[in-house]
Amino acid sequence: MTAPLCAQDYAEQARARLDPSIWAWLDSGGADEHTAHANLGAWPALRLRSRALRPLAGAHTRLTLNGRTLAHPILIAPTAWHGLVHPDGETATALAAAATGTPYVLSAQSGTAIETLAALPEPPHLWFQLYAQTRREDTLALASRALRAGARALVLTVDAPVNGVRNAEQRSGFSKPDTIRSVHLDGLSPPAARTAPPGGSPLFDSGLLDTAPTWDDVAWLRHRLPAGTPLWLKGILDPEDARLALAHGVDGLIVSNHGGRCLDTLPSTCEALPAIAQAVAGRIPMLVDGGIRRGTDILKALALGAQGVLIGRPALHALAVGGAPALAHLVQILRGELEVAMALTGCRTLADVDAGVLY
């Protein structure tokens, strides 16, 4: 097996190494996977505009986010249970993130405590993902714990009040081994799985949705967090929701369709991004995930209005292939590809990247 040269190489090698049920859990999308495929297809379908002979001396990929300078616009997306793909689990991810200056959005379903990652000799730049818990106080307690441990931003995921129709994962027979636990959720009143069991009693009649989070929960959390805590919403795909987010005082948006794992036939994030960028009009920063596999994809995401991108599945692919070094390698590949794309479209810095780089 040759050395991986790009994100897709890592995906193929991960597939060859992983148990098929873990691969199905990791890689499959919701229902018929239209949205998961659309995510992958949309970025390459955009055409770039080549520019020749522009000055490139002093080129760099730096940006500022949440008041901090980042070396490049790539983040690790929150995904559950990294221990399923590599024995070092989230620790490997954290090491790679730290080594490459990559912010790491730790999943609420992490198998490793945020305190453990924060205590590494060289800790990464950590953000923490929240799901609204059944009891608001539990959500706040999670947030407070993450901030105490050093999380620099909170990311409330809002696009999955119910589980998606995950047929491919169901067919694979995937079930989480007991040795992997969502350690941050221990001791919290577990929210009932908000899903319709196949063939069982319908979801709506169960009353499960009576506790689904609403904008009121965002307002409640916003006001109880310490002043200055960056609160992001993840899973915004509609301009009207972006406007509501602005009205609720959030600090950033992650445009996402949950990797196409939740509701099938949603648009790709690439399609959805421009209208949201127009609604936000630069008032708060935006990140985007879903289908980012090349540096050219990153350049296009920035051209459409995002400040940066998150990689979810690709990070797990690299972890599965070679742990921390492989993930660090992947980030460097993507960063290098972004730099090539900037040079060939005549962009010296990320500030030069706008809609003008698109054909």
Question: Is 335 exposed, middle or buried (CB count within 10 Å of its CB: 0-12, 13-18, 19+)?
Answer: buried
Radius of gyration of the chain (CA): 20
> Based on CB atoms, which residue is closest to a copy of itself, 151 or 156?
156
Question: Alpha-carbon distance 145 to 129, whole Å?
Answer: 12
Q: Which of 80, 74, 64 is nearest to 7 (CA)?
A: 74
| Annotation says 258 is catalytic | yes
Q: Which of 21, 77, 34, 18 is nearest to 264 (CA)?
A: 34
Those residues with Cβ within 8 angstroms of residue 83's Cβ, 6 or more apart along the chain or in another chain = 89, 90, 111, 112, 179, 180
> Based on CB atoms, which residue is closest to a copy of itself, 17 or 34?
34
CB atoms within 10 A of CB 96: 27
Q: How far is the CB of 146 from a copy of itself (least distance, A)?
A: 21
Question: Alpha-carbon distance 238 to 243, whole Å?
Answer: 9
- Annotated catalytic residue, options 72, 82, 258, 329: 258
Please give the structure tokens belonging to residue 222: 């916003």
> Based on CB atoms, which residue is closest to a copy of itself, 143 or 158?
158
DSSP 186-250: TTS-PPPP-S--TTSS-TGGGTGGGG---HHHHHHHHHHSPTT--EEEEEE-SHHHHHHHHHTT-
Give the phi and the psi of residue 236 in degrees, each rounded to 5: -85, 130
Please give the structure tokens belonging to residue 55: 């000055």
> Based on CB atoms, which residue is closest to a copy of itself, 117 or 338?
338
Q: How far is the CB of 190 from a copy of itself (least distance, A)?
A: 19
> Based on CB atoms, which residue is closest to a copy of itself, 163 or 182?
163
> Based on CB atoms, which residue is closest to a copy of itself, 90 or 337?
337
Q: How far is the CB of 181 from a copy of itself (least distance, A)?
A: 26
Q: How far is the CB of 228 from a copy of itself (least distance, A)?
A: 23
> Based on CB atoms, which residue is closest to a copy of itself, 238 or 251?
238
Q: How far is the CB of 86 from a copy of itself (least distance, A)?
A: 18
Question: Alpha-carbon distance 99 to 255, whole Å?
Answer: 26
Question: Alpha-carbon distance 297 to 304, whole Å?
Answer: 11
Those residues with Cβ within 8 angstroms of residue 137's Cβ, 6 or more apart along the chain or in another chain = none
DSSP 300-342: HHHHTT-SEEEESHHHHHHHHHHHHHHHHHHHHHHHHHHHHHH
Q: How far is the CB of 284 from a copy of itself (least distance, A)?
A: 16
Q: How far is the CB of 324 from a copy of itself (least distance, A)?
A: 13
- Provide the annotated active-site residues: 258
